[in-house]
Amino acid sequence: MKKIDVRTISEIIGVISIVSGLIFVGLQIKQSQDIALSQSSISYNQGRIEAIAEINDHIEIWEKGNAEENLSSFDYAIYLNLVDLMNDLYFYMAVSNTYAIGEDPISVLFTGDLRNSGMNEWAYFLYKNPGALKAVIRLENESLESCSLNGIESNQYLDGLISAIEFYKDRYSNHE
């Protein structure tokens, strides 16, 4: 049997230590990512509960606005706030879902890619509720006007959302 010198043993122990450390760091990163996704899901669900509670507090305004019935200016302001709340909620859900599947949010959200459940649900809702769609377009255009000072010239989110809505129009226009 050949003698293994101390230097070789030290190098083997060093390599094992480095590999073990890298595995540990990888597991820590994975655990941190899982925790962040769980917290994101909890935040989304809390936001959804709060949004639904707000809508329930103003259910007549919500229904009339979605059906494009006349609203007083006061009620319309409430309606715009409710739509904005839901728009933000679905936008952040869509961003979270995109990160969860490991994709770039811009490539999914801003192209109207319906693989994203947040974009899919919201686009379908807006397709079925033209009053809400008009409100979202108004809100997003107002947002774009305030952003134009920063050199932003288009609202890619709105463009993607409208693209997703067009999918539903094409799909269901012959079935309704």
- Across the chain, mean pLDDT equals 79
Confirm whether 1 is domain-assigned. no
* Count of structural domains within the chain: 1
Please tell me whether residue 173 adopts helix, strand or coil conformation.
coil
Give a yes or no: residue 56 inside a domain: yes
**The pLDDT of residue 72 is above 90:** yes
pTM (two decimals) = 0.67
Q: Which long-range contacts (CB under 8 A, 24 or more apart) does 97-105 make?
A: 99/37, 100/37
pLDDT, tens digit, 9 for 90 and up, residues 84-125: 888 888 777 777 766 666 666 656 555 555 555 667 778 888
In a domain, 166, yes or no: yes
CA dist 155 and 153 (Å) reads 7
Q: Which domain holds residue 167?
A: 6-172
> Is the pLDDT higher at 3 or at 59?
59
Sorting pLDDT into bands at 50, 70 and 90, what band is 65? very high
d(C-alpha 41, C-alpha 39), whole Å: 5
On whether the CB atoms of residues 33 and 100 are closer than 8 A, the answer is no
